[in-house]
Each structure stands twice: as structure tokens, then as C-alpha cells.
A and B are shown apart, each in its own frame.
Chain A
Amino acid sequence: MTVVDRPASARPHSAAASRAHGGDAEDAPQRVLMKGNEAIAEAAVAAGCDAYFGYPITPQAELLEWMARRMPEEGRVFVQAESELAAINMALGASAAGARVLVSSSSPGISLMAEGMSYMAGSRLPVVLVNVMRGGPGLGSIGAAQGDYLQATKGHGHGDYRVPVLGPSSISEAIDLVREAFILAERYRTPVMILADGILGQAMEPVAPTFKTLAKRQPDWILDGADHREPRVLKSLHLRPEDLEAHDIELHEVYQQIAANEIRWAGERLEDADVLLVAYGTAARVARTAVERLRDEGVRAGLFRPITLWPFPAAALREAATGARVVMAVEMSAGQMVEDVRLALEGAAPVFHHGRMGGMVPSPDGVVDTMRRVLASSEEAAR
């Protein structure tokens, strides 16, 4: 695959929208079919990823396989580590040395990486992590799921930190967001997570034959030998609470900047919507079809799709829900993102949830059925 520079695009949600409507389809070069896992991997290669560390796990295995072939081809580093724990700590070292680093896994493997994530956040080390979510808890199933939302947006490892989380809904959007993730990671010196799922990883969709590159930066904090300069220190250990608090305050100033500047979301048919579905990733595609079917039945439905899951687009959602009778989250979980929806709306509209678990995926008709029941009961209550 050839890689060429293309002009920087607008923010991903507007770029995705223009692609969806075909804009310059006639002039575009012939697209190729790619699996989500492979496209994510190649997007990272194109974005100048210097080093990849991972350990195989379904349903993200093709991502690692692609890197195993492509990274040596480019003269870069690929290591299949002895465990996820080793992989994330190799990533920590490589990032400290100034490498652009990608790590990927699926749910159980991401849990194993949580400690390293916390250390990297504390040490302010950029890294992009891809979680191709599968059913849980525990080893769970290899089916597609979204049960790691709370872990991704609220948790990971221990301590007082945040990580930007991007939720792609299509393979072409995933390609854009991988590059975006590297930009955010380096701009703010933080780990960034791409939260995908087994369907996005396993499906094939058409993508442009060339991916965007990303210029290399010259950071002034990396550990590259202190021969002609003062030594630098990267660490997460600050034994004096006074020092650690000062460090944590710095971290949270960065998180505030991210929350102020980096929120991304997309909306469909919001203008006249009085019924609002909220969903991300694969669930958002199911919800999109449900919106069409509800519209066919005369229900004015719309879709609000968060792209940054942290920071959550709370203000935009509140605005989109103005005038909505009912808001319903659609997830491949028992109800995780729905908590952020409720926090965002602060009671402005009743919030419901439709979800499947364990690797099962909601069907459009399942979403429509639940919405019908919700509407019927809210009409009943109004009587």
C-alpha cells in the first residue's frame, strides 16, 4: 500500500459526513476493501508509528498480524511480547525514548495493561491504545461488545487521571481517528484510547487506497541521552504528597484543555427530532437504521453519536435533546454510556436504555420495539 500526503481534513465528524454523501466520488481513486483491524493497523503505519507492542487476542488478532508484516517492511519495531503486561511496559519505555507507539488488545488484555496505562498517564507519556472490545466480564466471549465503556472513560488503572477515548463507527472513520489519536497523544502528552468492537474489527468496508501521514515532532522531554544537556526525568512516583498534588493539578489542567478543545460528535436528523437515540460505535449504526425505521412509522427520531467518549459531548447532547420527549441510549452493554447521557441531560428529558450483552448485538427492530414501548408508556403517563 502506498502512502501519500493529503491535505489536513476538517474535524473527523465533518470529514466522515462529506465522505458519506459521496462528494468527490468520481475523482476519487478506486477504493479497496479492508478489514477494520487491518485498516486501523495500516493507518498507524501511515501515521508514522515507530513501534508496536502486543499480544494476540480475538477479535483484534488481525491488527497484530498486519503489524507483524508491515512494521519490519518499513524498518520499524514490532514486538509480540510475552504478555500484555510486558507489551504495555515496552510501550512505556519506547514512548519515553521518543517513539510514536501503538498498542492494541481486546478487553481482557486491556485490563492487564491498566497498570501500565496509569504509569504512562502519570509520567505524561503519549501512546495510542486500541481496544477491540469483546464480551465480558472475565474472559467472556469473542463476540462484539461495548462493556468496557466505563473502564475506558472512567477507569483504566488506578489514580487521578483521564484518557481521551475515541469511538469510531465505521472503518473509514477509524482510519481518521487513529491519526487523530496520535495527534492528541502528542499534543497533550497523554495516552489516548481508540474504543472499537469486534464487529468494527472483523468487518470489511471500502476505504481510500492511501492513508494520511503525520509529520514527526521534536519533543523536548524525551530521554535520548543527556550528553550535552541537563538530565531529564520521566516518572509517576512523587513521594511527597505536596509534590504529587502539584503534579496532579498540572495533569488536570491538561484534561481541562482537552475537554475545552477536543470534543467531537456527529448527529443525524436532529433538526426536528422529538425522539433522540444516543449511541456510539457499532451500536450507532444499528441506531441509524432504527432511526430510519422509526421515521417510516412517522416517529420523528434522530441520532446523536458521541465520537469522543471522554471528553463526553455533554453540552452538544443537551442542545440536541432540547425539545425531545424521550432520549434512549443504545449500547452493546447493560447500560454504561447511558450514565453519561443522564449526567449530560440533568433531568431535562427522560432517559431510557436498550442494550444487549455478552457479545450479542442489538437489532434495529429490537431498538424500534423498545422505543415503541417507551413512547406508549409515556403517552399513558401523560393521560
Chain B
Amino acid sequence: MELSTVIAGFGGQGILFAGKVLAQAGLLEGREVLWIPSYGPEMRGGTASCTVIIADKTIGSPIVDRADHAVVLNPPSMAKYAAVVAPGGLLVVNTTLIEAEADRDDIDVLEVPCTAVAKQAGDDKLVSVVALGALVGRRRFVEPETIHRALAVVLGDRHADMVEADMAAFDAGYEAGLEEVIA
């Protein structure tokens, strides 16, 4: 098994954080993982992205040209990453901010109003965590309980007060992923 996930959106949407949580969850489940951020000048106010690979063998290319999952949280990310999803893969679309439809009939598209769900769950800054929940709800390649544990690890003692809100946001996304809420 080797599954790659690209998470992309605006800087400030928690893209790198959600990726770290996913990578930490893979690690907690005893797998090989790799997390790589975009670290270019585009991070300052523009788009941010990260790639997470989870595998049960040595990980090869850190550059993903056929993503098993892509999570897109803003329109530029949709334009860039919808094409990168491998046939049969999953595209999670934040419909609060993205109006365009994915021009693909060979992939699974999960439309979730992530920003709205995050706001409902208590904090719209947790949009990436909601999207991560939706991804895991639809394709259970890590256990949701492991994500809960990973949130606590990544937030650490310094941000321990955030764990509860993050878990709530993840759970709301997870439910949406199971049901595919259409807004």
C-alpha cells in the first residue's frame, strides 16, 4: 500500500497543519510516511500545499504525479490539482469557496462546504481539519481515532487547549464525508 494525499489552499487555511496531522496518524499506525510542504514564495499570502505519502513499504518519489487523494480548499488549488488525481482517486472540494466543477468522470469527487462546516463546528480557521475529516470519512485509509491521537501529538502541550475544537471539526468533516453533504 502506498497512498498519496495532496492538500492545497490559501496560506492560513491550516494546510500544512492538516498534512502534519495526517502524517503523524500514519506514523502512529506504524507506517512509513513522508510530509513535504510547498515552501516557495507563494506561501506568503498565496496558495500553500503539502503532500503526505503513507505506505507500508519504503517510500519512493516525494514528488506525486498521480495523487490518490487531493483536497482542494480554494479555486486556484482546484484548477491546479484536480488533474493530478489518479483515475479512481478522490478529490475533496471545498464548495464554500469553489464554484467550479471538476472536469473528471474517472475519479470520485466529494463536495463538502468545508469552510461553512468549520464555522458551524466552532472555528472557520479549522477548514483543513474539516476537509481531512471528510477525506477520512470517505476513504478510511487511517482510523479516525488515530487522527484524534495525532491531533493531540501535533498540537502538543503548547496548544493543548485547541485539541477539543480540532477534534470537533474533524468529526464534523468525517460525518460529512460519510454522508456527502451537498450545500
The chain A residues found within 8 Å of chain B, CB to CB, are: 20-21, 25, 31-33, 58-59, 141-143, 198-199, 202-206, 282, 285-286, 288-290, 292, 361-366
Instruction: Flag whether B147 is at the interface (Cβ < 8 A).
Output: no
- Report the separation of the CA atoms of residues A181 and B139 in the bound assembly, to the nearest whole angstrom: 43
> Which residues of chain B come closer than 8 Å to A204, judged between CB atoms?
20, 23, 33-36
A-binding residues in B (CB < 8 A): 20, 23-24, 27, 30, 32-37, 39-41, 57-63, 65-66
Q: Give, as a whole number of angstroms, the nearest-CB distance from B62 to chain A.
A: 5
Contact B65–A365 (Cβ < 8 Å): yes
**Can you name 17 A-B residue pairings with CB atoms under 8 Å?**
A25-B30, A33-B23, A33-B24, A33-B33, A33-B35, A58-B39, A59-B39, A141-B40, A142-B40, A202-B36, A204-B34, A204-B35, A285-B62, A286-B62, A288-B61, A292-B60, A365-B66
User: What's the Cα separation between A58 and B59 when bound, in Å?
Assistant: 25
Query: A residues within 8 A CB of B65?
Result: 363-366
A171 closest partner in B (C-beta): B34
Once A20-B58, A204-B34 are accepted as A-B contacts, the answer to whether A364 and B63 lie under 8 Å apart by CB is: yes
- Residues A285 and B41 in contact, CB atoms below 8 Å apart: no
Q: Do the beta carbons of A289 and B33 come within 8 Å of each other?
A: no
- In order of increasing CB-CB distance, the 4 nearest A-B pairs are A289-B60, A289-B61, A363-B65, A288-B60
A199/B36 in contact, CB under 8 A: yes
Question: Which residue of the partner chain B has the closest CB to A35?
Answer: B35
**Distance A206 CA – B28 CA, assembled complex (angstroms):** 10
> Chain B residues with Cβ under 8 A from A365's Cβ?
65-66
Q: Are B27 and A206 in contact (CB under 8 A)?
A: yes
Chain A residues positioned under 8 Å from B23 (CB to CB): 33, 204
A206 to B37, CA, bound (A): 16
Q: How far is the CB of B14 from chain A (nearest CB, A)?
A: 16
A311 to B40, CA, bound (A): 33
The interface residues of chain A lying within 8 Å CB-to-CB of B63 are 199, 286, 361-364
Contact indicator A33/B60 (Cβ below 8 Å) = no
Which residue in A25, A31, A143 is a CB contact (below 8 Å) of B27? A31
Q: Give the one of A25, A204, A365 with max B CB within 10 A.
A: A204
Known A25-B30, A285-B60, A364-B61; further 18 A-B contacts with Cβ < 8 A:
A20-B57, A33-B27, A142-B40, A198-B39, A199-B36, A202-B39, A203-B35, A203-B62, A204-B36, A205-B32, A205-B35, A206-B27, A206-B33, A282-B62, A285-B59, A288-B61, A363-B61, A366-B65
Residues of A within 8 A of B40 (CB): 141-143
**Which B residues lie within 8 Å of A25 (CB)?**
30
A267 nearest CB across to chain B (Å): 14
Given the known interface contacts A202-B36, A202-B39, the answer about A33 and B62 at a Cβ–Cβ threshold of 8 Å is no
| Bound Cα distance from A206 to B27, whole angstroms | 7
Q: How far is the CA of A119 from the CA of B108 in the complex (A)?
A: 60
Q: Which residue of B is nearest A290, CB measured? A: B61
> Which has the most chain A C-beta neighbours within 10 Å: B32, B39, B59?
B39
A290 to B66, alpha carbons, bound, how many Å?
Answer: 12
In Å, the complex CA distance between A286 and B20 comes to 22
Closest to A59 in B: B39
Residue of B32, B33, B36 with most chain A CB atoms under a 10 A cut-off: B36
Alpha-carbon distance between A199 and B39 when the two chains are bound, in angstroms: 10
Across-interface contacts of A361 in B (CB, < 8 A): 62-63
A363 CA to B64 CA, complexed, in Å: 7
What separation, in Å, do the CA atoms of A20 and B24 have in the docked complex?
19
Contact indicator A142/B36 (Cβ below 8 Å): no
B66 contact set on A, CB distance < 8 A: 365
Chain A residues with Cβ below 8 Å from B33 are 33, 204-206
B39 — which chain A residues lie within 8 A by C-beta? 58-59, 142, 198, 202
Collect the chain A residues with CB atoms within 8 Å of residue B41's CB. 142
Interface contact B60-A286, CB-CB below 8 Å: yes
- The residue of chain A having its C-beta at the shortest distance from the C-beta of B38 within the complex is A202
How many Å lie between the Cα of A175 and that of B41 in the bound state?
Answer: 28
Q: In the complex, A71→B65 CA distance in Å?
A: 39
> B16: shortest Cβ distance to chain A, in Å?
10
A292 to B61: give the CA distance in the assembly, Å. 11
Give CA–CA (A364, B37) in the complex, Å.
Answer: 19
State the Cβ distance, B64 to closest chain A Cβ, in Å.
8
Bound-complex Cα distance A205 to B34 (A): 5
Q: Are B62 and A199 in contact (CB under 8 A)?
A: yes
Q: How far is the CA of A123 from the CA of B90 in the complex (A)?
A: 59
A294 CB → nearest B CB, Å: 12
Instruction: Say yes or no: A202 contacts B37, CB within 8 Å.
Output: yes
